[in-house]
Amino acid sequence: MAPKHRYPTKGNRPTQAQTQIQPQAQPQTRSIPRITPLQLRRTKIANKIRKTWPIARTKTYDAKTRRRKMNKDSRGMTNSDIVCNRNALLQVLLHLPKFCNWVLEHKLKNAKHVKKDNKDAVEDETEEGNENHDKVENERETHDSHAWFCNTGFNEDGSKKDPNYWTPKAEDIPDSLIPDHSWICVACLMKNLIEVYWCGIGENGSDGEDEDEEGTPSPTRPLSQNLYPLSGIHDSAIRWRLQGIPNQPYNVRLVEKESQQAADEFLTHFLDALECSIDQTAHPDRYEQMQSLFYVSKNETGTCTNCAHPVNKLTSHMGLDIVPLLSKRQSDSIDAAVARDMADHKIEGVNCENCYHTADRDVHTTIEAGPEYLVVRLQLTQYNQRTGQSYKNTNPVRIDPVLDLTQYTTSAGNGPVVPLRYRPIGIVFHAGAIDGGHYVSKVTGPEKKFFINDDSVMEIGRVNDKGALLENPYQGGFNAYLVVYGKMANERGRSGRELEGLM
Ligand SMILES: [Zn+2]
Ligand SMILES: [Zn+2]
């Protein structure tokens, strides 16, 4: 097996726009729980995105209840060889209703799933039927800060635009390595996948529900990996991956193309591509919605141990990266790993811009704003210093029913604060060697929770069964690899009007 490379990606670097936001003063009122202005803004934006499941399947007769009922079960996805990593991750994304509703707005003329701030906006449900939306329409809508169209067209040098462009970018990849369907707008692909998955449309070129051999609609039949939106995502993922390796010989790229990509690396590339499809200057609202859905903003204060001069920095990352304990004798938990990640620490030998001494710096980090969906990645790769080989940390990591981040918020301290708490809603598990192996997922659907292993879908509990997702490992050899949490609504009456009053 080739050693596992970690390529630089844009996802975990703060962008220019993100670093410019400065933390502001906290509202100092005793009776009203405190919250940072940024958290308040992110919560408000995420609250405007519809959370109902975008399911439109034909109702079928249910012999048990003797009623016609819509099947809302999850679907499997076939896996020929090395696509289980992406499928497991896509399964989790397909079970984030606000994310799905948000993507469904791509190329939509008027808001349907997301409420606009502008009260005059008409809620028009008309959708552009034409996949190749016409340019005139596109231009007419560009003044709308809420719009989101494909990043298509041509560059200044006349070359065709990359609809999912991101940097770094290797330009010298031989055409023979680039898969056929890897230049399609990723927002279009994901929108199409959501429609096929939950509405059964568009599959096999049909407009109706997918049917089995007897002609009975089977809205939960597994999706083939060759199905258009899925194959497009797989092809694009290969191109993004190849583009992340600059200046490599053909055979190195070929190995990369044909080996399995880590699920979290795919997630970073995928969300980067989605983010890049948004014109942030013309449509800043769309970009803020994406941040509200996935980004954690941290406020880092470094204090010079020589002159006590503080340096503040605000950074935004896609979720949290945690490093589980290696010891087999001491089991770990996500809570404990997050606590270690957020703990105060010292950076040795930093040049102070105030006293010009080289001194240690005490660093204190708080969470300025948490997202609607918190992605927690467990760094399972360990390196053996002696042999230089990487191997997998298989020490069990407990997942608790609630991840409470309130104590880490910038607002925490004296007096009441608005809680920042999360519940696990989707988990990607990994079994086998670190640079290969098998990925599966557990998801929370509208009615039930499922364990999804390629094309097999197994019910593991009802939607309110809190324990169903928490067993880790689920069965022999599986380790939790990536956990997606959903933000818990705050106490009744506190989230809505009271928070509005703080704006
Ligand atoms: Zn598009
Ligand atoms: Zn100093």
> Separation of 305 CA from ligand 2 center, angstroms?
7
Determine the straight-line distance between the first and last CA of the chain, rounded to whole angstroms: 54
CA 344 to centroid of ligand 1, rounded, Å: 43
Ligand closest to Cα of 359 equals 2
Distance 156 CA to ligand 2 centre (A): 47
Give the ligand with the smallest distance to the CA of 185: 1
Q: Which fold has domain 33-117+132-502?
A: Cathepsin B; Chain A (3.90.70)
Residues 6+ apart with CB under 8 A from 301: 310, 311, 312, 313, 363, 364, 365, 366
Domain ranges (residues) in the chain: 33-117+132-502
Residue 343 alpha carbon to ligand 2 centre in Å: 22
Q: What's the pLDDT score for residue 410?
A: 94
pLDDT 10s per residue in the chain (503 long)?
A: 444 444 444 444 444 444 444 555 555 545 688 899 999 999 999 999 999 999 888 777 778 888 888 889 999 998 876 788 899 999 999 999 999 999 999 988 766 667 755 433 333 333 333 333 344 444 444 556 677 888 877 778 877 778 887 654 666 677 778 787 778 899 999 999 999 999 876 554 444 455 555 555 567 788 888 888 898 998 888 888 887 777 777 778 777 777 777 778 889 889 988 998 888 888 888 999 999 999 999 999 999 999 999 999 999 999 999 988 887 677 789 999 999 999 999 999 999 999 999 999 999 999 999 999 999 999 988 888 888 888 888 888 889 999 999 999 998 887 889 999 999 999 999 988 877 788 999 999 999 999 999 999 999 999 988 888 887 655 668 889 999 999 998 754 454 455 545 54
Q: Are 103 and 254 in contact (CB under 8 A)?
A: no
Report the separation in Å between the CA atom of 313 and the middle of ligand 2, taken as the mean of its atom positions. Answer: 16
362 and 305 in contact (C-beta within 8 Å)? Answer: yes
Task: Please give the pLDDT value at position 342.
Answer: 95
- Considering every ligand atom, which ligand is closest to the CA of 308? 2
Nearest ligand, CA 107: 1
Q: Which ligand is nearest to the CA of 305?
A: 2
Distance 366 CA to ligand 2 centre (A): 22
Pairing of strands 438-444, 421-431: antiparallel
The CA distance from 296 to 222, in Å, is 34
Question: 73 by DSSP, 3-state: which?
Answer: coil
Cα of 190 vs centre of ligand 1, distance in Å, is 9
354 CA from centroid of ligand 2 (Å): 5
Q: How far is the centre of ligand 2, averaged over its atoms, from the C-alpha of 362 (Å)? A: 11
Structure tokens at 486: 């959903």
What is the rounded distance in angstroms from the CA atom of residue 354 to the CA atom of residue 429? 47
Ligand nearest to the backbone CA of 279: 1
Q: Give residue 309 CA to ligand 1 midpoint distance, Å.
A: 48
Q: From ligand 2's centre to the CA of 307, what distance in Å?
A: 4
| Under 8 Å between Cβ of 292 and 315 | no
- Dist. CA 499 → ligand 2 center (Å): 39
Q: What distance in angstroms lies between residue 8's CA and the mean position of ligand 1's atoms?
A: 25
What is the distance of C-alpha 5 from the center of its chain? 21
Q: How remote is the CA of residue 246 from the centroid of ligand 1, in Å?
A: 27
Tokens of 52: 């109902």
Residue 160 C-alpha to ligand 1 middle, in angstroms? 15
Which-ligand-closest: CA of 311?
2
What is residue 386's predicted lDDT score, i.e. its pLDDT?
87
Q: Which helix (H) or strand (E) holds 196?
A: helix 186-199
Q: What is the pTM of this model?
A: 0.84
Q: Ligand 1 centroid to 269 CA: how many Å? A: 16
Residue 398: what residue type?
A: R
Query: What's the CA-to-centroid distance between 9 and ligand 1, angstroms?
Result: 22
